[in-house]
Amino acid sequence: SSSVNDDYSVQKTNDDASQSKLAAVKLGYWKDEFLARFVSMSTEDGRAVHRDPEISLGYWARITIIRHYIDLFLAKAGEQAQIISIGSGFDTLFWRLKSEGAKFARFVEVDFASVTAKKLRVIRRSSSNALTGLFREEAHENQHTDLHAGDYHLVGADVRQWAELKTKLEEANVDWKAPTLVLAECVLIYMAVSQSEELLSHFTKQFTNLALLSYEQVNVNDDFGRVMVENLEKRGLRLAGIGACESIEIQKKRLVDAGFSHGTVDDMNSVFHKKLSVEERNKVLRIECLDEMELLKQLNEHYSISFASRAPEMDNFGEPTL
Ligand code: SAM
């Protein structure tokens, strides 16, 4: 198990992700009218956040492919659908979906209690109702870390502790039989491979109709990958789950071992060129001047998206056998 210090630096990764996303939103890469409520554009030492164009393009591809799979899931699952976002940080997906009229039964966000407490404070003080106005029911708080509001639930838990997590999911009225998607955006890498495998196995055993959407590093063993990991470690981060990110094949194996039967794992370079709209892609490529396409390609080759399902009742999503 990891020390408190490790957990603290892992929680800080959320600030970095949120600020990178906000920097891209401000430049017009995609629309998010909610994110600025959760995060500010200056760092702790007061400097303005700046991200290189390839970083913003990487985040654009990440946001866009995640939304593509979420829409696919919601279209198939219908109004009973549940989304459970683990290590959700300050993600705004719930509000973006609701403001666009998406229909689902419940959206549960889980993160360390210190992170959910911060998110809860922002939600509570959103005076204009911009955030609470999209909840189906009036919000009820629990211990300053948890919030329940009908279709939106925010709960503090260490997802490596299944008993604790399961209790929190029960408090969020999660239906074990309803079609459910677990979203893990840049979070599994921070736990040991055995822990993420155990977590995913618990999910596949507990839910009858389960899909998983996971975004994280891949190909970490080549030159670029090693430098990328070193840079993260220099900032005090221990990537405990790095072993599952050596290759696409290893990622697939973890999914199979955890009980998933169908799915696709792609590196983000093939996503960027094959799965995203050419029109949209050309539009975002024009936002800033990127003189090194090679840099973007290398960066994209080191991230992956997995979309997997284990669905004896519901058909799979047309994805191949793993
Ligand atoms: N998913 C968000 C996104 O992509 O914008 C946040 C990503 S951030 C890189 C990783 C998040 O996972 C942090 O908020 C961190 O606190 C959370 N996290 C990592 N390990 C966790 C654990 N064992 N239990 C709960 N949350 C965890």
Average pLDDT of the residues in 85-111: 98
Closest residue CA from atom 8 of ligand 1: 14
Closest residue CA from atom 18 of ligand 1: 87
Residue range 118-130, pLDDT digits in tens: 999 999 988 678 9
Q: Which atom of ligand 1 is nearest to the CA of 183?
A: 1
pLDDT at 315: 65
Q: Is 87 marked within a binding site?
A: yes
DSSP letters spanning 44-108: TTSPBP---HHHHHHHHHHHHHHHHHHHHHHHHHGGG-EEEEET-TT--HHHHHHHTT---SEEE
Q: Is 159 marked within a binding site?
A: yes
Question: What pTM, to 2 d.p., does this model score?
Answer: 0.96
Domains located in the chain, CATH noted: 4-310 (3.40.50.150)
Dihedral sign (CA 311, 317, 102, 11): positive
pLDDT at 289: 85
Q: Which residues contact 218 (CB under 8 A, 6 or more apart)?
A: 245, 246, 247, 248, 251, 267, 301, 302, 303, 304
ipTM of the complex: 0.99
Q: Which residues line ligand 1 (CB under 6 A)?
A: 10-11, 13-14, 17, 87-89, 91, 111-112, 115, 158-160, 185-187, 190-191
pLDDT at 2: 46
Q: Is 158 marked within a binding site?
A: yes
Residue range 216-244, pLDDT digits in tens: 999 999 999 999 999 988 888 889 999 99
Mutation probe of ligand 1 site: the residue of 111, 120, 212 with most atoms within 8 A of C-beta:
111
Q: How far is the CA of 267 from the centre of ligand 1 (A)?
A: 21
DSSP letters spanning 100-140: TT---SEEEEEE-HHHHHHHHHHHHH-TTSTTGGGSSS--E
pLDDT at 29: 98
CB 273 within 8 A of CB 65: no
Q: Is 124 marked within a binding site?
A: no
Mutation probe of ligand 1 site: the residue of 12, 86, 187, 200 with most atoms within 8 A of C-beta:
187
* Amino acid identity at 284: V
CB 117 within 8 A of CB 14: no
Q: Is 185 marked within a binding site?
A: yes
Q: How far is the CA of 283 from the centre of ligand 1 (A)?
A: 30
pLDDT at 49: 85
Mutation probe of ligand 1 site: the residue of 112, 162, 217 with most atoms within 8 A of C-beta:
112
* Amino acid identity at 314: M
pLDDT at 287: 96
